[in-house]
Amino acid sequence: MRVVIVGGGLGGLCLAQGLAKSGVSVAVYERDPSPHARDQGWRITLKEDGSRALRECLPAPLFDLCVATAIRPATQMAFLDHRLTPAFTKPIPAPPADTVFGVNRLTLREILLTGLDVRFGATFARYSHTPDGRVRARFADGTTAHADLLVGADGTGSAVRRLLVPGSDFDEIGGFVYGRTPITPGLLRETPEILIDSFNRLTAPGGAAMSLATCRPLRAPSEAAAAYAPDARLTDVPGYFAWTVAGDEGRPPGGDGFHRSDGPTLHRLALDAIHGFHPAARRIVQKADAAATFPVRLRSARPVRHWETTNVTLLGDAIHTMSPGRGEGANVALRDAALLCRAVTAAAAGAPLTEVIRRYEADMLAYGFAAVRASLAQPFAPRAARH
């Protein structure tokens, strides 16, 4: 059994780890030229589905490393107006440390890359089926790879999906600006307690909104790697505030073309959008790393019918991209990876490949698009969806 995965995001790498752990030959092809070619994004919260998938697919030392490098948990939830007047607050009980926890996305990806065969700089072009029943993937540089199964894990703009499920599409439902501000002792002292270690959202009367997450690892990644998995090469990420800003009525700051703006421009647009907010909130955005600011486009996949199953399939955002309102996208992708890993492992042991993939796709489409629907009901999406 030979598996080729197109896309080196969290879902594709989790699947690759699980297959390698099960003794299945697997290679990942990623279009980025290197693991650090672009920013890997922000904090994500691993919930039960996500942590269960990681525990199942990763070697034990790598899963322990995920837990050891977790971000300090939030202690309260707070919905506030733009002047920090609370509308609703609620304490958050401490979750099980190895079941629900926040992680820095870059750290998690570096852990998932450990020990894998990943071919960087490989832009997928197309696939074809061969006379012997296998599948051939062809890349933009003319190289090819043969496999018993090809998995498209190449994100919202998936080239594999366009070939496998022609006509499948997604809706643009808005966008926001994402930024990071280094946490210094002085800034921490100046920041109101309600904004520290909380899940929060500040909303102005016109609909402009800001959310802030405190991201401080429990343990330095390089130190934890030395203790749990010396082969892992992790980047130490100092503590930071991760913030998001949306404009009036949930529209992207700067209008629909905001995704073409550079970091400093987006930083200025974010400050303009929160011009009337509490000084403590504005201070955090003002002190951000302006060059690292980037746009996030919100997209939601339109439901698709189950296609005719072959030895090409999809997982994660490549098929069911969703609003981040419920924080489910990464968790559902990891769930896909664990489920598909079980299916492929069964095929490697003798089960009919097409049959196990058909069952995987049916289950994945059912819970994946249920998550898409649920995500649209959360705060990131409703106002933006009307535009």
Q: Using 50, 70 and 90 to split pLDDT, how confident is the model at 384?
A: very low
Cβ-in-10-Å burial (0-12, 13-18, 19+) of 116 comes to middle
Helix 48-57 vs helix 10-21: crossing angle, to nearest 10:
40
Mean pLDDT (whole number) for 126-139: 97
Model pLDDT for residues 320-339, shown as the tens digit of each residue: 999 887 889 999 999 999 99
Report d(CA 84, CA 245) in Å as an integer: 15
pLDDT at position 60 over 50: yes
Among 170-174, 345-349, 365-369, 377-381, the minimum mean pLDDT is found in 377-381
Cβ-in-10-Å burial (0-12, 13-18, 19+) of 291 comes to exposed
Spatial contact of 10 and 49, defined as CB atoms under 8 Å apart? no
Q: What number of residues does the chain have?
A: 387
Collapsed DSSP state (helix, strand, coil) of residue 328: coil
Report d(CA 30, CA 213) in Å as an integer: 29
Q: Which of 162, 120, 157 is nearest to 139 (CA)?
A: 120
CA angle (207 as vertex; 204, 212 as ends), nearest 5: 65
Spatial contact of 79 and 201, defined as CB atoms under 8 Å apart? yes
Among 91-105, 146-160, 306-320, the minimum mean pLDDT is found in 91-105
pLDDT of residue 195: 97
Among 23-37, 137-151, 305-319, the minimum mean pLDDT is found in 23-37
Model pLDDT for residues 233-261, shown as the tens digit of each residue: 999 989 999 999 999 887 888 887 888 89
Collapsed DSSP state (helix, strand, coil) of residue 19: helix
Report d(CA 224, CA 180) in Å as an integer: 23
Q: What pTM does this model have?
A: 0.93
- The topology under which CATH files domain 2-385 is FAD/NAD(P)-binding domain (3.50.50)
The H helix count followed by the E strand count for the chain is: 13, 17
Residue 265 backbone zone (phi > 0: left; psi -120 to 50: alpha; other: beta): alpha
**Which stretches does DSSP call E strand in 7-42?**
25-30
pLDDT at position 23 over 90: yes
In eight-state DSSP terms, residue 73 is P
Report d(CA 170, CA 298) in Å as an integer: 10
